[in-house]
């Protein structure tokens, strides 16, 4: 029997709403998370780590020339993503070699 767990982005949305973050924060975080994933050619976040996060933030600074506060916001969104992922069953399955 397969479990119908929400996808990782849906889980992020769920946690944001549980924590009563503003709608604008939700939109911003989801946007940064999607940009991070697309920057790495749709690689699943759980297959990436510090190296890829650093590459993305460096890209924002060097190529897109975004401000330090914007880089910080992007980093906060990505860190939030990983906090949600680590508390979900998805993270546990991926780290045990199981597939969804």
| Domains, the chain, ordered by start | 8-86 (1.10.150.130)
5 confidence band (pLDDT: 50, 70, 90): confident
Q: With residue 91 as reference, give the H or E element that holds it.
A: helix 89-95
pLDDT at position 1 over 50: no
Q: 């993305």: which residue's tokens?
A: 56
pLDDT at position 83 over 90: yes
Please write the tens of the pLDDT for every residue from 16-34. 999 999 999 999 999 999 9
Mean pLDDT of 35-62: 97
**Residue 33: what pLDDT?**
98
Give the number of other Cβ atoms within 10 Å of residue 81's Cβ: 24
Contact between 74 and 61 under an 8 Å Cβ cutoff? The reply is no
- State whether the Cα torsion 78-80-83-86 is positive or negative: negative
Report how far apart the first and last C-alpha atoms of the chain are (Å, whole number): 12
Mean pLDDT of 44-59: 96
98 confidence band (pLDDT: 50, 70, 90): very low
């Amino acid at each position: 029997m397969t479990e119908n767990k929400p996808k990782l982005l849906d889980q992020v949305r769920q946690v944001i709403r549980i924590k009563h973050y503003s709608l604008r924060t939700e939109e911003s975080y989801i946007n940064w998370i999607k940009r991070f994933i697309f920057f790495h050619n749709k690689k699943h976040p759980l297959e990436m780590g510090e190296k890829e996060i650093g590459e993305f933030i460096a890209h924002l600074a060097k190529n897109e020339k975004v401000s330090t506060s914007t880089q910080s916001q992007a980093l906060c969104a990505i860190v939030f993503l990983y906090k949600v992922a680590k508390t979900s069953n998805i993270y546990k399955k991926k780290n045990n070699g199981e597939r969804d």
